[in-house]
Amino acid sequence: MKNQNELTTFSHELKNSLTLIYSQLQYIEQTHPELLADLHWSGIKDDFSSVFDMVRHMLTPASDASAALEPVDLTSLLEEIKYSWSSKLKEHGIRFSVQAEDSCPYYIKGSKTKFLQIFNNLISNGVNAINRKKETAREPLISVHVSREGSFIVCSLSDTGIGMTKEQQARAFYRGVSFEPKGNGIGLSVVSEIAKDLDISIHMDSALNQGTTFTLIFPGLADTAK
C-alpha cells in the first residue's frame, strides 16, 4: 500500500482526468440527445459519478468526510446495478435476477455511492466465482432477493460459483486476503467497513462447488432516524 501522501497525489491526478472525461461525456450527451433515453448511458453516468464521489471522498479531510445520508430505494438501486452490469454478465453468460417480496419501496438510509461499492464488490466476486467453476450443470446465476423482517430489510445475494472452504470463509473478510490468482483482497474488507459504518449486518454462507450467499440486514428507516 502506498503512503497517504502518494495516495492523495494519485487521487488528485485521477480527479483531474475524471473531470476531463466527464466534460466530454456531457458534450457527447448534448450533441446526441437520444442518449438520454438509453439506460446503458445513464448507467455509465451513474457509475462514473460513484467513481468521482470515491475520489472526492479520498481528498476530503477525515473530519468532514461524512457522506450524505439519504433514503435510497433498494429495489430501484438493484435495477440500476443490473443495467450497469448487463454487458459484462452477458459476456460471461451469467443471468442476474432481482426479486422483491412486494412492490412497495424498500427504503434504506445511507449514501448511494456506498451502497454501490458494496454491491459492485459482491457482484464482481460472484462473477469471478462463477468463472472459476468448471462444472456447468447449473445455469450460471447471480440472484438477489429483498424482503422485510420486522423493521429490517433483508437482502440476499447468491451466486452459483465455486464457493469457499470453511478455512477460506473464516479469512475472506480480512484486508489483503485473496484466494484468487489476480485478487488483491480489498473488496470484502471495503464491504465490511462500509457495513459497519452504516449499521448493516452481513452473513456469509458458502459451500464448495455449490455457491455463496451474502445476506445483508439493513436497519429500516424508522431505526436509523433515531
Ligand X SMILES: Nc1ncnc2c1ncn2[C@@H]1O[C@H](COP(=O)(O)OP(=O)(O)O)[C@@H](O)[C@H]1O
Q: Which residues bind Mg ion (CB under 5 A)?
A: 125, 187
Of the pair 74, 162, the CB lying nearest ligand X is at 162
Q: Which residue is nearest to Mg ion (CB)?
A: 187
User: Using the 8-state DSSP alphabet, how is residue 117 labeled?
Assistant: H
Q: Is 120 in the site for ligand X (CB under 6 A)?
A: no
Site membership for ligand X, residue 55 (CB under 6 A): no
- Provide the minimum distance between the beta carbon of 122 and Mg ion in the complex, in angstroms, as a whole number: 9
75 grid coordinates: 429495489
Q: Please identify, using beta-carbon distances, which residue of 32 and 203 lies nearer to Mg ion.
A: 203
The dihedral formed by the CA atoms of 39, 145, 72 and 151, expressed in degrees to the nearest 10: 160
Considering the complex, what minimum distance in angstroms separates the CB of residue 106 from ligand X? 22
For 183-191, the CB contacts below 8 A with 24+ separation are 183/128, 187/121, 187/124, 187/125, 188/121, 188/125, 190/117, 190/121, 191/117, 191/118, 191/121, 191/122
Which residue in the set 81, 155, 164, 194 belongs to the binding site for ligand X (CB under 6 A)?
Answer: 164
Element spanning 94, H or E: none
Query: At its nearest, how many Å lie between ligand X and the CB of residue 140?
Result: 12
C-alpha separations of 108 from 37, 79, 123, 175, 203 in Å: 27, 15, 19, 26, 18
In the bound state with Mg ion, the residue whose beta carbon lies nearer, of 106 and 115, is: 115
**Cβ contact 183:136 at 8 Å:** no
Task: Name the nearest CA neighbour of 130 among 210, 187, 216.
Answer: 210
Under the binding rule (CB under 6 A), the answer on residue 89 touching ligand X is: no
- Tell the smallest beta-carbon distance from residue 138 to ligand X (Å): 14
Residue linked to cell 462447488:
209
110 or 211: whose CB is closer to ligand X?
Answer: 211
Among the listed ranges 20-28, 32-40, 91-99, 187-195, the one in contact with ligand X (CB under 6 A) is 187-195
Please select the residue that binds ligand X; options are 78, 94, 98, 129, rule is CB under 6 A: 129
Nearest partner of 99 among 153, 155, 152, judged by Cα: 155
Residue 131 within binding range of ligand X, rule CB under 6 A: no
**Which residues form the interface with ligand X (CB under 6 A)?**
121, 125-126, 129, 159, 161-164, 168, 172, 177-180, 183-189, 212
